[in-house]
Amino acid sequence: MVDDLAAIVVIALVYSHHLDVRALVVGLAALAAVFLARVGGLRYGVLYIGLGVVAWMAFFKSGVDPAVTGLVIGLATPAYPAARSDLEQAITRVRRFREQPTPEAARAASISLTESISPNERLQNTFHPWSSYVIVPLFALGNAGLVITGAFLAHAFTSPITLGIFTGYVVGKPIGTAGGAWLVTKLSRGRLRLPAGWASVTGAGTIAGVGVTVSLLIAELAFHGEQLDQAKAGVLAAAIAAALLTWAVFQVTSLLPKPLRLRALLGTATVIIDLAAPVDPRRDHIRGPKNAPVTVVEYGDFECPYCGRAEPAVRELLADFGDVRYVWRHLPLTDVHPYAQLAAEAAEAAAAQDTFWDMHDALLRHQDALRPADLIRYATELRLDTERFVGDLRDHAYASRVAEDVDTADLGSVSGTPTFFINGQRHYGAYDIDSLKDAVRTARALAAIAA
């Protein structure tokens, strides 16, 4: 992405001719209006589309390549995780619509649901299929057409244009990527270190040699006729060579002994921690070895069906890995699960009688039966001091303990359940057993390297 952004900047600066200052000022003013509208909190898509069109036309007329318009507006599009307060407001408006299904309530609910997701994610979801499967392939097909003959190849691969492009991608990319990373590490005296191993960095550099769409765009601007064909030949040949070179890098890496291979791929840098509140054995509920090298933290809700579906995966994970400790933290989503808060307090009341995990398991087994009478029945089945348990529930004795977990979730921008953290890093994607196992293996390998 950085490479493509830099290329678009080069297009704007190098391939712009005969500047029309008046049109350029109009384009800059339109972009400034985009920023002002964003700062002012305006969320009208039509407004941004109109300003974008004005900026594009003005830059086109000014002589500056209008691709810069998309670059600037793209960088100005905000991205942020869904806030729990926004999700709660959306649920409130959906319920209001359920009670009174009017057009006004429907519109309010729709707007609230939409605005709880960042514009960046919404736009990506809308345009990604079009850009990936229609626009980019059509551009590549429309601009990469070559009539390849023996005579053309013989002439092209003696051309400075073809050889320069080929060398720049196949040799320059890995040298620039790995060399730049090495230089930063040295100049910072190790204070800035890569979050990956050198084999991964080298592979990233070699695969960066596969540059087609933006490369062809610059070639179209820089060359014409036979020279353009030679440039296209260099781009396409470099893409094939870069893919093969990347395959070779990782094939060689796979032949290394396991400890060296892990270092080469994962590196030795300390990872950035996403978990806002570190695990505290004095207050957190822990299942598994206390000093395990891998810690899985789950923010969960006893009434959440997705937490119920994740529970078998967690159990299998603990059974298959003897060196994993598991931590449960409460995040009752009270706006959608009316009994989740009381269930969390019941688990804490059971913890006060050293029976947290038994109650935890019972609550997740019976997610459809979490009323007070059900909770008392589970306490009786677990042979707890029922009178004490009932008194704790009635007095909400452990509501503050549950609130502490909720506060740590808010600090870590956790808005839904289940949310997993593995050795302090947020786990993105699925929480099926295969995904969790892969994440645990990676965390265990990083922990072994750090040790």
How many Cα atoms occupy the beta-carbon half-sphere of 70 within 13 Å?
Answer: 10
Q: What's the pLDDT score for residue 287?
A: 93
Sign of CA dihedral 290, 291, 292, 296: positive
Cβ-in-10-Å burial (0-12, 13-18, 19+) of 138 comes to: exposed
Cβ-in-10-Å burial (0-12, 13-18, 19+) of 246 comes to: buried
Residue 351 has pLDDT above 90, yes or no: yes
Rounded Cα distance, 358 and 9, in Å = 60
Would strands 285-287 and 324-330 be described as parallel, antiparallel, or unpaired?
A: antiparallel
Q: N- to C-terminal Cα distance for the chain?
A: 34
Q: Contact 181/201 with Cβ under 8 angstroms?
A: yes
Estimate the share of the chain in helix, then strand, then coil, as percent rounded to the nearest 5: 65, 5, 30
CATH topology of domain 285-450: Glutaredoxin (3.40.30)
Overall average pLDDT of the 8-27 stretch: 79
Residue 284 has pLDDT above 90, yes or no: yes
Q: What is the pLDDT of residues 176-214, one digit of tens each?
A: 999 998 998 888 887 777 778 889 999 999 998 887 777
- The domain limits of the chain are 2-76, 84-115, 144-266, 285-450
In this prediction, residue 164 has a pLDDT band, given cuts at 50, 70 and 90, of very high
Residue 39 has pLDDT above 70, yes or no: yes
Residue 83 has pLDDT above 80, yes or no: no
Look up residue 184 and give its two tokens. 């930063």
Residue 144 has pLDDT above 70, yes or no: no
Counting residues of the chain whose pLDDT is more than 70, the rounded percentage is: 96
In sequence order, what are the residues at sequence separation of 6 or more whose Cβ sits closer than 8 angstroms to the Cβ of residue 195? Answer: 267, 269, 271, 272
Counting residues of the chain whose pLDDT is more than 90, the rounded percentage is: 42
Q: What's the pLDDT score for residue 212?
A: 77
DSSP readout, 182-232? Answer: HHHHHHTTTSS--SS-HHHHHHHHHHTT---HHHHHHHHHH--HHHHHHHH
Comparing CA positions, the residue from 196, 178, 253 lying closest to residue 446 is 196
Q: What is the pLDDT of residues 87-126, one digit of tens each?
A: 778 888 888 887 778 888 888 888 888 888 888 888 888 8
Comparing CA positions, the residue from 306, 311, 303, 395 lying closest to residue 349 is 395
Q: Give CA angle at 224 (218, 228), nearest 5°.
A: 65
Residue 332 has pLDDT above 90, yes or no: yes
